[in-house]
Structure 1
């Protein structure tokens, strides 16, 4: 029997399911592919479908997905997911936050979008170091790294959706 959240996702009407999936990833194309694959027997099957959908996203689809993510060090106010995923920044010094802001702006100037990394379990210093390293990539290299990082984020978020009972803050 699928976990409670997965059962809900499988049986929800398209609008409700699309809304839940949008919480995981802002790409409409990705969401449409996940919706088309319902029902999913397991969380692993849902995550495998997510991986397959990620591999098919165009550059525009990826840009749409990235646009749904706040910059590192500046989680969305009132968004518990954003705060939870960026918890490694909670104890960051003012100097580290300022450096990340400066690096984020330079990255955005170069690539035209927010720096995206799967922040779960990473410290502020680790995220800064990754940003320092990745800013030297070509746009093509960076697009594929973003695809991988977004896939990791989607898996974490989908697992959370699938495995939590209704009303569970998760």
Structure 2
């Protein structure tokens, strides 16, 4: 099933116009520079090539482009508003964390605030399937990072989210 979704994502992405490809890709990562670069790199011969390009593209972004992408992400524990595909995906990705008890959710909210004070942007983590306790432990650990180490972790997490969402483009049959 996952292989089918990945194949469908590559097929759709290769078939879209450049404008549509960029628009659809911004639901996966809100950096316009990343979406444009990925759209311009088509056609992709398969999932491995697309995934490699997506990951390399995030690593190559200027920090200002990463911040643009982060602006589209709600805080961990906050429910993304709206009916957009990106908001729906965000709610699904955070669903495991949302079921935690009030004490853990409160601690996570405090860690979010402390993280934002320290680093100046939202705490980003690929939350899909991860319990709130694990996310909280990662937030606390990452608060000990220096700025350079944290920027690398943010890029890794952003790439993970983008790849997950690229797979979902195929599953949703977007552009079909």
Q: Same fold (TM over 0.5)?
A: yes
CA distance in 2, matches of 1:99, 1:89: 12
Q: 1:132 — aligned with what?
A: 140
Match of 1:55 among 47, 56, 59: 59
Is contact 1:47–1:155 with CA below 8 Å preserved after alignment? yes
Is contact 1:27–1:65 with CA below 8 Å preserved after alignment? yes
Q: 1:90 — aligned with what?
A: 98
Shift of 1:91: 1.3
CA distance in 2, matches of 1:74, 1:52: 29
Once the two structures are superposed, the pairs formed by residues 144-155 of structure 1 within 5 Å of their partners are 144-155=152-163
CA distance in 2, matches of 1:89, 1:5: 27
Q: 2:70 — aligned with what?
A: 66
> Structure 1 stretch 22-31 or stretch 37-46: which is displaced more?
37-46
Q: Give the TM-score of the pair, scaled to structure 1.
A: 0.91
**How many pairs align?**
168
Question: What per-residue deviation string (whole Å, max 9, x for no partner) do you get for residues 42-98 of structure 1?
Answer: 122111110111121111111111111111001302422011110112311122111
> Structure 1 stretch 24-33 or stretch 154-163: which is displaced more?
154-163
Task: Report the secondary structure of 2:10's partner residue.
Answer: helix
Once the two structures are superposed, the pairs formed by residues 151-170 of structure 1 within 5 Å of their partners are 151-166=159-174
Q: CA RMSD for the aligned pairs?
A: 1.9
Q: Give the TM-score of the pair, scaled to structure 2.
A: 0.88
